[in-house]
Amino acid sequence: MTATGEASAAADTAFERNRRRLFGLAYKMLGSVAETEDVLQEAWLRWRSADRAAVRDEGAFLARTVTRLSLDVLRSARVKREAYLGTWLPEPIVDEATPAPDETVELASDLSVALVLALERLTPLERAAFLLHDVFDMPFAEVAETLGKSVEACRQLAARGRIHVAEERPRAKSTAEEGQALASAFLKASRAGDMAGLVAILAPDAVFRADGGGVRPAAMRPLFGAGRIANFFGRMIRLNLPVEPRSASFVTINGLPGFVTIEADGLPQTTAFEIADGRITAVYVVRNPDKLGRLMEV
């Protein structure tokens, strides 16, 4: 292998060594797998063309690159985000394999829907400062260099971000068996309009969020409380809406138990659950076809 080939191979190895953390950083910034992959591709191209001999810390260099690229995407998508119809949820990351117990904890923390939703409520700069400092352990001096702000400004940005996300990490974890059992019970009760059955498995303060993107019918606002969620599904039955799916597969979604269904209209839907103390505390349903392209390709 030539010296150039060896250098390119070393660059690729270094990038792959950091890929998982970079994916998590971009996904938390953007909430979109497609946009995250585009950012990583551009970051890889910039990494290969960089003067790597002058790079003291490859992880910090790549994190800065991914953050700046993600900020560019957020700026260009600002109007689209502001005009989004109904509840916005991140593009689901679906894994048909059940992760090992230690991986479940890591995935749920790293890719948590609740965390991405909390970050979505921040400004792009607050989001970036919080992630780089609190998640990536980057010193504020380097955060300031990355964002083009003063150190004190970055401290304030990260502090505001910290306040918003402090309560959003998953409160508890469930075993794979418990998660699948509750997911199965929810699927059965919700599609039958079994309101009592739903109330029995939902926490009293459970929240239901559904993202149809204005393309497919979905609850336009979050539903709070087991009773309201149960009433929503009971109303669907009373209105004779098509609620029985063509098929259902139990999967892991963003590290959470859930299932993928093919609905009566032939399109996929994902449903993921947060669970604490043996009950469902949050339900996340994604129906927007723009966020389910990978499932429609299968």
Q: Go through the domains of the chain in sequence order and give each one's CATH number.
A: 3-165 (no CATH), 176-297 (3.10.450.50)
- For residue 164, the model assigns a pLDDT of 83
Report whether pLDDT(2) > 80. no
- pLDDT tens-digit series, residues 157-182: 999 999 888 766 655 667 889 999 99
* One-letter amino acid of 156: Q
* Crossing angle of helices 176-192 and 226-238, rounded to 10°: 40
> How many Å apart are CA 96 and CA 252, to the nearest integer?
6
**Contact criterion met (CB below 8 Å) for 199 and 226:** yes
User: Stretch 242-263: mean pLDDT, rounded?
Assistant: 91
Which residues have C-beta within 8 Å of that of residue 76, sequence separation ≥ 6? none
Residue 99 tokens, joined: 């992760």
Q: What are phi and psi of 282, to 5 degrees?
A: -150, 145
Inter-residue long-range contacts of 7-15, CB under 8 Å, 24+ positions, other chains counted = 7/52, 8/48, 11/47, 11/48, 11/52, 12/48, 14/47, 14/52, 14/58, 15/43, 15/44, 15/47, 15/62
Whole-number pLDDT of residue 75 = 86
- With 0.85 as the threshold, say if the pTM is over it: yes
Please state, rounded to an integer, the average pLDDT across all residues of the chain. Answer: 88
